[in-house]
C-alpha cells in the first residue's frame, strides 16, 4: 500500500506565505491522483479547500491555492491569518481507493 507524506508541522507569521506539500511513496504526484486539501480545526469536521489539484470551493478563501510542485501536490497559503491555524490534510486517489496524508499542523505565530 502506498504512503502519503506531509510535513508534520509548519509555522508561518501573520501575513506570511507558507507551502504545505503532499508526496507519494509510489512516485511523483500527478493530476491523476486528483489531490484534495482539507482544513480541520479542533472539534470540527474537515472542510474541503481544494479539489482536483487546483480547484476551489465557493467557501475557500482566495489566499489558499493548490498546485503541483516538484513531484508533489502543494497547498500555498499567501497572507496567513490567525484563523488559518489548523490541521491540513491532503488526500490522493489510487485507482479507486484513496489515501490521506498524515496531516500538517500549521501554526500562525
Partner 1 sequence: EVQLVQSGAEVKKPGATVKISCKVSGDTFSGYYMHWVQQAPGKGLEWMGLIDPEDGETIYAENFQGRVTITADTSTNTAYMEVSSLRSEDTAVYYCSTGAETSHGLSLLGYWGQGTLVTVSS
User: Footprint of partner 1 on this chain (CB under 8 A)?
Assistant: 1, 34, 36, 38, 40, 45-48, 51-52, 55-58, 87, 89, 91, 96-103
Question: Residue 101 corresponds to which cell in the numbers above?
Answer: 496524508
Assess contact for 91 and 36: CB atoms under 8 A: yes
CB of 48 to partner 1, least distance (A): 5
Give the residue with the Cβ less far from partner 1, 16 or 85: 85
Task: Measure the CA–CA gap between 18 and 106, rounded to whole angstroms.
Answer: 9
Q: Which residues pair with 56 in a beta bridge?
A: 50
Give the residue with the Cβ less far from partner 1, 10 or 15: 10
Amino acid at each position: 500500500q502506498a504512503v502519503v507524506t506531509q510535513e508534520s508541522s509548519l509555522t508561518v507569521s501573520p501575513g506570511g506565505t507558507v507551502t504545505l506539500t503532499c508526496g507519494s511513496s509510489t512516485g511523483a504526484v500527478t493530476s491523476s491522483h486528483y489531490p484534495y486539501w482539507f482544513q480541520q480545526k479542533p472539534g470540527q469536521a474537515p472542510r474541503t479547500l481544494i479539489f482536483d489539484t487546483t480547484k476551489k470551493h465557493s467557501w475557500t478563501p482566495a489566499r489558499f491555492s493548490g498546485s503541483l510542485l516538484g513531484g508533489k501536490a502543494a497547498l500555498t497559503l499567501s497572507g496567513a491569518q490567525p484563523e488559518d491555524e489548523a490541521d491540513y490534510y491532503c488526500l490522493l486517489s489510487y485507482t479507486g481507493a484513496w489515501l490521506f496524508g498524515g496531516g500538517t499542523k500549521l501554526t500562525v505565530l
